[in-house]
Amino acid sequence: MSSPIKISDASFQSDVLNAKKPVLVDFWAEWCGPCRMIAPALEELAAELGDKVTIAKLNIDDNPTTPQKYGVRGIPTMMIFSQGQVAATKVGALPKSKIKEWIESSI
């Protein structure tokens, strides 16, 4: 059973941009209420969709470079990267069913 992987500015290239399958990156922070709200949904989706997509979490407080590079203004922001490019972006907390729908339509 897979769960979300923790990534950093340093590992972003290898974990996300060079990944063989699509990666959903959750840009989040400890102090963000909506981020904590979607965390259990992302845990479950990592287990359910782990063979199709990797779910990764990037703490924006500890890793400011990557969110800045991709223009992350509000959190939670979720981006799906495919073959090193941003394929889709969602900002804000969504119910698990909507996140799953969005992932499946984007990969």
Note the pLDDT tens digit of each residue in 46-81: 999 999 999 999 999 999 999 999 999 999 999 999
Tokens coding 98? 């909507």
Fold of 5-106: Glutaredoxin (3.40.30)
pLDDT at 92 over 70: yes
**Residues 6 or more apart from 63 whose CB is under 8 A from it?**
7, 8, 9, 12
Q: Which residues are catalytic?
A: 32, 35
> Where exactly are the structural domains of the chain?
5-106
DSSP 107: -
Note the pLDDT tens digit of each residue in 2-49: 899 999 999 999 999 999 999 999 999 999 999 999 999 999 999 999
